[in-house]
Structure 1
Amino acid sequence: MFELDPQFVENLLLSKQVLSFSSYFHPSLVSLYLEIAKKEAQIFLILTEPVLKRFKADYSESFQTLVQFEHVSLYLFPKDSKLAGVTVTDRFFLLTILPQVKFFEHESLFSSEPQALKWGTDLFSYLQKEAVPVSAKTNPIIL
């Protein structure tokens, strides 16, 4: 339940571009995003406020390292979300939703079909329009 899907991890590590939205915190993603950033993959990361605060508080050094990469863009999603996560790369699309009545469970849809990548990119673009860019210049308090 708390382990990342091996197919997700394998494909994420091979991706050249990562578009990711998350309204839940998973500690394993911290090291994965750092590893991908070190490979110079383009990363666009949208986090809800609780996730951003936890990432910064519990993994401060990793957080600061990640945001220093020029090819990493960080955004704050200022609203509540019914989506747990959206990840779109040049290799796959993963949509994760939370059921209304069960806690600590989720349902995920994984696809590498071109139509799914397009749909996932469109969904991410919508979320990005609702998000606020986070940088040392625009939001120094957050960083």
Structure 2
Amino acid sequence: MQLVNLLLFSDKRKNFLLLLTEGPRNIDEILDLLQVSRISLLPHIKKLKEEGLIIQNGEVYSLSIIGNILVKKARPLLDVVSMFEENDLFWSHRKLDSIPFHLLKRLGDLKGSQLLEPGLTHGFDLFPELINHFTGSSKVILLFSYFHPQIPSFSLELAKRDIQVQLILSRDSFDRFSEDFRDTGEKILAKKNASIFVYVGAPLEIPALIAISESALLIGFFNTKGRFEGQYILNFEPRALSWGNELFEYYMGRSEKVCSMDCSDCSSDDQKVSHDL
């Protein structure tokens, strides 16, 4: 328990140990990267040395074998704690049971996310973050479990730019799409680089939005009351992009390909398309 306390109950120790997972570091480099003073870090270094978690060789510090094992095992927990601390009010009110358990365990991969509030996105007009980080990509994957009237035109605009587009819609969203924007939908389906899918998995609530380009992940969740408040997290880290792609593939595996806006499924042969972009 004492070792756990050393890891969890001091940001200086935690950040110091995580830094050393990347390799041995000179003390001056450590102080610069952590933005702390030598006098404030020395007591923590002393404790870590006493517990045998780090090794000192002159001015260079590295993890011991025990320290390396402990920190690597604890890293997923440390990451998820950091992620929750970054936007604690947001995460404490999100409905996360839509995330499969194997990805829920790796929620810390979203560490470093930016929280986008409704006011910052101009009331979702189709949020500038989608325009800025997605229209310049060569491939974009999108999931919407609610309907916004700009989804059809945005998806068509991406397809017209020769961007590879995969769009998953909830059943309700697709019904609204096919009823009010049938022509736009048919134009999307006519493009060889674009496809539309309808989620047909178990009727559990799926995230409000998943949008992934080559360099950005934008994701929104419903709150604990099942309402969408227009809040999103934006992340550019490779780990977050990988996590988001795995989440998208989870829903893709429970979706059917749309061949026409008149129906939401294709023949069995047509459904055997690759889900990879």
TM-score greater than 0.5 by the shorter chain: yes
Q: Give the Cα–Cα distance (whole angstroms) in 2 for the partners of residues 121 and 142 of structure 1.
A: 23
- Give the paired residue count: 141
Equivalent position SS for 2:183? helix
Partner of residue 65, structure 1: 187
Q: Cα distance, 1:107 vs. partner? A: 2.8
Partner of residue 117, structure 1: 241
Q: Give the Cα–Cα distance (whole angstroms) in 2 for the partners of residues 111 and 119 of structure 1.
A: 11
* One-letter code aligned to 2:163: A
Is the aligned partner of 1:10 residue 2:153? no
Q: Which moved more, 1:121-130 or 1:70-79?
A: 70-79
Deviations 1:33-77 (A, max 9, x none): 111100111111111111011111111111110111111121110
| Long gaps (5+) in structure 1 | none
Q: Give the Cα–Cα distance (whole angstroms) in 1 for the partners of residues 193 and 185 of structure 2.
A: 14
Q: Give the Cα–Cα distance (whole angstroms) in 1 for the partners of residues 208 and 227 of structure 2.
A: 12
Q: Cα distance, 1:104 vs. partner? A: 4.9
Q: Give the Cα–Cα distance (whole angstroms) in 2 for the partners of residues 88 and 2 of structure 1.
A: 17
* One-letter code aligned to 1:70: K
Partner of residue 142, structure 1: 264
Is the aligned partner of 1:29 residue 2:151? yes
Structure 1 contact 17–89 (Cα < 8 Å) conserved = yes
Is the aligned partner of 1:54 residue 2:165? no
Partner of residue 130, structure 1: 254
Q: Give the Cα–Cα distance (whole angstroms) in 1 for the partners of residues 187 and 167 of structure 2.
A: 14
Q: Give the Cα–Cα distance (whole angstroms) in 2 for the partners of residues 41 and 4 of structure 1.
A: 18
Q: Cα gap change, 1:14/1:107 in structure 2, threshold over 3 Å: closer, same or farther?
A: same
Q: Cα gap change, 1:81/1:102 in structure 2, threshold over 3 Å: closer, same or farther?
A: closer
Q: Cα gap change, 1:46/1:102 in structure 2, threshold over 3 Å: closer, same or farther?
A: closer
Q: Cα distance, 1:29 vs. partner? A: 2.0
Is the aligned partner of 1:81 residue 2:223? no
* One-letter code aligned to 2:222: L
* One-letter code aligned to 2:197: Y
Q: Cα distance, 1:7 vs. partner? A: 2.2
Q: What root-mean-square deviation, in Å, do the aligned CA atoms of Structure 1 and Structure 2 show?
A: 2.0
Q: Give the Cα–Cα distance (whole angstroms) in 1 for the partners of residues 187 and 150 of structure 2.
A: 16
| Long gaps (5+) in structure 2 | 1-122, 266-277
**Greater relative CO (CA pairs within 8 A, separation 6+):** 1
Deviations 1:74-114 (A, max 9, x none): 11102342410111111211111011227451431111111
Structure 2 contact 197–264 (Cα < 8 Å) conserved = no
Indicate the structure with greater strand content: 1
Q: 2:160 aligns with which of 26, 38, 45?
A: 38
Structure 1 contact 18–88 (Cα < 8 Å) conserved = yes
Q: Cα gap change, 1:124/1:103 in structure 2, threshold over 3 Å: closer, same or farther?
A: closer
Q: Cα distance, 1:3 vs. partner? A: 2.5
Partner of residue 42, structure 2: none
* One-letter code aligned to 2:233: L
Structure 1 contact 99–106 (Cα < 8 Å) conserved = no
Q: Cα distance, 1:2 vs. partner? A: 3.9
Q: Give the Cα–Cα distance (whole angstroms) in 2 for the partners of residues 100 and 82 of structure 1.
A: 13
